[in-house]
Amino acid sequence: MASRIDTSLLHGRWLHAHEEDTPDGMVFRPAETPLPPARGRTGYEFLGDGRSRRLGPGPADRTARAEGRWRLEDENRIVNSVTGSDDEVLEIASLEPGRLVIKKSG
């Protein structure tokens, strides 16, 4: 990406649409997007005030949430600091309404 991302597009709850992944990127869709049934979709929620939530499978098929804070670093890199975990760096390959692609690491 050549320019800084529009963080207003990032605000909201994003779920991993693993069916759409590419060899280089993980695709996330807004939570209200119809996705095929899957047990334990992971995701993120980025709030406008800098708070974040990492989402994942929890007990009894309920979503578990880990609270944290996010910040934009460089033009396309998010640092997500979740309580009790090491910082997670997410490099955004693309962000548009309805679709977030995070580069796969390694």
Q: Residue type at 75?
A: E
Q: pLDDT value at position 43?
A: 95
Q: Residue type at 27?
A: V
For 78, the token pair is 């998010």
Could you tell me the domains of the chain? Answer: 7-103 (2.40.128)
- Taking only the tens place, the pLDDT of each residue in 66-96 is 899 999 998 899 999 998 889 999 999 999 9
Nearest of 55, 79, 53, 78 to residue 68 by alpha carbon: 53
- From the CB of residue 92, how many other CB atoms can be counted at a distance below 10 Å? 19
- From the CB of residue 1, how many other CB atoms can be counted at a distance below 10 Å? 13
Q: pLDDT value at position 106?
A: 65
Q: pLDDT value at position 36?
A: 86
Distance CA 42, CA 76 (A): 21
Q: Which residues of the chain have pLDDT under 50?
A: 1-2
Map tokens 């949430």 to a residue.
Answer: 65
